[in-house]
Amino acid sequence: MEETRKLASSIHPGSGAWDVIIVGSGAAGGMAAFQLATAGVKVLLLEAGRMIDGQKEYRTMEWPYASLRRGRLPEGERPIAVAEYNMYDRPYGNHPEFAPYKKLMSYAGSTFTRNWVVNEKEHPTTGTPFAWVRARILGGKTNFWGRGALRYGPLEFKAASHDGYDVDWPISYEDVKPYYDRVDELLGCSGTKEGLMQVPDGIFQRPSKLNCVEVHFKRAIAKLDRHYIPGRAGVTTDGVLSKYRARCMGRGRCGRGCDLNASFHSPTALIYPARDSGHLTVRPQSIVSEVLFDEATNKAAGVRVIDGVSRDVMDFKARVVILGAGALESTRILLNSRSRRYPNGLGNSSGVLGCYLSEHLMGIGGSGYIPIRKGTAPTLDDGRPVAPYVPRFRNLTDRHPRFIRGYHFQGGGGCAEYPAMAHEIEGFGSAFKEQVREWYPAPISLGGFGEVLPRKENRVLLDPEVKDAWGIPVLRFDYRFGDNEMKMVEDMAEQIEEMLTVAGAENIQVRREPLPPGWSIHEIGTARMGEDPKTSVTDKFCRLHDVSNVYLADAAPFVSGGTQNTTWSILAMCWRTMDFLKEEMKRGDI
């Protein structure tokens, strides 16, 4: 907090001269800052949250018995749970049922993340249910992300050519591949070369191995021509050249923040090294409300900031504005940047800003017990950053009769810290204990991620009435799963059941209902890229068609999102955009 206060009060308009302003410090803002500052560009990074000291705040190794809370939040604080996203009217913040709670968080609020995830009372949303996870802290959601580091491949960039639905990205895998490679080398990515076109290989460090139940499952589903491969993790297992990061020591508690910083977290991996260049200024507690527009030049002039503590309003100026506040937040800032020329939001002459919101279907999964491990001695099965992965197998070369696009499964098995299966074992006494021990090494469970088709009508707008704690209009969601998604859901459930059956699993349980929209935390789109300014918001370098000095560094320009988790693509795409920007700056075009 000390550092936050010092930084926030020492940096104000006029206290420095900056070429570029970056909004947000997650994967997108971090990569943008790193690329520009290390190239000598003077950068001001504006982050809505406070600074973070990972050494203190990442409680990586804490045992549950260190506190009786055991994952529960203190009185007065609580996360909104699954059903509530469907049950209660938004905005939650104003809902009388939640009045007794001091703090209300999205579902990702746990004892480990509760100081990072936003309070829904301060940050409400309206419209259809959307489980929107936001972290306002240096590094954003990369402090506790799941580390699944997958590339999009040709099937994503050219999805429309493959099945005729919607449009292709205006770029191809070949355009982005060199940047994925560089991201792998800079940040470290663990995995195995598999030669699968649906999820291209990268430059990998040592993989997370499979444990016993997983090897069994892999062999079983090979009979169905399906793959089960070590998860690809945004974690350095062999080390990277960085004084801030150690290599992975297999504690398996990365989701609370990895205090060795073996896992990619934007602060240690990107922002601190960028700051060491001497060209990056970070201003925390700086909430950007809009991009300032200069009618005379048709260019952005800077951004308006509300100080999170003093609430002072300040206008920071620069030659270039880069938005990396997270796809939906960046779009919200643009929608809120209204001028005579762009009354519906900056860069929105097409009217498609806010449209084509997409993410992944989640919730369909299955579990069971692999008999070969029943009754065997426990082994260390979860000391690694990610579980294995079943890559997409639908609509690769064939054509599924009921739906287009595809899905993948993630998940593994073996001994875990908490024996969740104990809740399913009947009885009591020593016999009960013994049965828990017997099953303890045997469980396996996998969950699916399916592509939600980008659709124009799935969109966000500014709510005309409701505002957040800083007086900024909140997002109103109009987002639903469609027919293709529901057909996919059926197939996902059937296929996970079949795979577990083929593996000879006992006590198979299948979850057939999707989780509410937003659950995947993989939101993409709402400022999609394209060649035609009439149907897209940015060009193929993530720059607004309308205003040539505003760039998007996050997933807002993404056209479609495949089944792959988003972060590695954000990092690669952002690097590519920054290379383009640096060229423009060199040429003097900006």
Partner 1 sequence: MWRIGYVPEDLREQELVSVGGVTRRGALKALGAGVGGFALWPYLSDEGARAFARIQQSQAPPTLRFLTPAQYKDLDALAEAIIPADRHSPGARAARVADYIDLLLSESDEETQATWTDGLSEVDRLSRERFQASFALLNAAQTTELLTEMSKHERDPQSGLEKFFKTTKEATVRGYYTSEIGIHKELGYKGNQHLPEFVGCKTVDGEPCPHCGQKP
Site for ligand FAD in 123-142 (CB under 6 A): 133, 135-137, 140-142
Cis status of the peptide bond prior to 91, with omega within 30 of 0 = yes
CB of 169 to ligand FAD, least distance (A): 18
Distance CA 354, CA 159 (A): 21
Q: How far is residue 502 CA from its own chain's centroid?
A: 33
144 touches ligand FAD (CB under 6 A): yes
Of 193-201, 253-261, 333-341, 552-560, the window that binds ligand SF4 (rule: CB under 6 A) is 253-261
27 binds, among ligand FAD, partner 1, ligand SF4, none (CB under 5 to 8 A by kind): ligand FAD
By CB under 6 A, residue 549 contacts ligand FAD? no
- Other Cβ atoms less than 10 A from the Cβ of 506: the count is 12
Q: Which of 306, 362, 460, 524 binds partner 1 (CB under 8 A)?
A: 362
Burial bucket for residue 88 (CB in 10 Å: 0-12, 13-18, 19+): middle
C-alpha to C-alpha distance for 220 and 213, rounded to whole angstroms: 11
- Among 408, 424, 578, CA closest to 491: 408
Give the nearest distance from C-beta 569 to partner 1 in angstroms: 17
Residue 194: burial class (beta carbons within 10 Å; 0-12, 13-18, 19+): middle
For the bound state, the minimum distance from the C-beta of residue 447 to partner 1, rounded and expressed in Å, comes to: 4
Query: Per CB under 8 A, which of residues 513..532 are in contact with partner 1?
Result: 519-521
CA distance 141 to 483: 31
Instruction: Choose, by CB under 6 A, the member of 385, 406, 414, 525 that binds ligand SF4.
Output: 385
Is residue 189 within 8 A of residue 205, CB to CB? The reply is yes
* 557 near ligand FAD (CB under 6 A): no
In the numeric block, which tokens belong to residue 43?
A: 């950068």
Q: Shortest distance, CB of residue 70 to partner 1, whole angstroms?
A: 5
Q: Which of 207, 214, 196, 274 is CA-nearest to residue 237?
A: 207
Which residue of 66, 224, 309, 486 would you call a contact of partner 1, by CB under 8 A? 66
Q: Is 282 in the site for ligand FAD (CB under 6 A)?
A: no
Residue 287 makes contact with ligand FAD by CB under 6 A: yes
For the window 429-468, what string marks contact with partner 1 as x by the rule CB under 8 A? xx-xxx-xx--xx-x-xxx---------------------
CB 439 within 8 A of CB 416: no
Q: 526 is written with which tokens? A: 């709402």
Question: How many Å apart are CA 267 and CA 275, to the nearest integer?
Answer: 10
64 binds partner 1 (CB under 8 A): yes
Q: Is 91 in the site for ligand FAD (CB under 6 A)?
A: no
Is residue 331 close enough to count as binding ligand FAD by CB under 6 A?
A: no
Question: Which listed option, ligand FAD, ligand SF4, partner 1, none, makes contact with residue 23 (CB within 5 to 8 Å by class)?
Answer: ligand FAD
Cβ contacts of 302 within 8 Å, gap of 6 or more: 21, 291, 292, 315, 316, 317, 318, 321
Min dist CB 485 to ligand FAD, Å, is 20
- When computed from its CA atoms, the radius of gyration of the chain, rounded to whole angstroms, is 23
Tell me the site size for ligand SF4, rule CB under 6 A.
15
Applying CB under 6 A, the residues found at the interface with ligand SF4 are: 60, 235, 248-254, 258, 260, 262-263, 384-385
Applying CB under 6 A, the residues found at the interface with ligand FAD are: 23-29, 46-49, 108, 133, 135-137, 140-142, 144-148, 286-288, 324-326, 329, 333, 521, 554-555, 565-568, 570
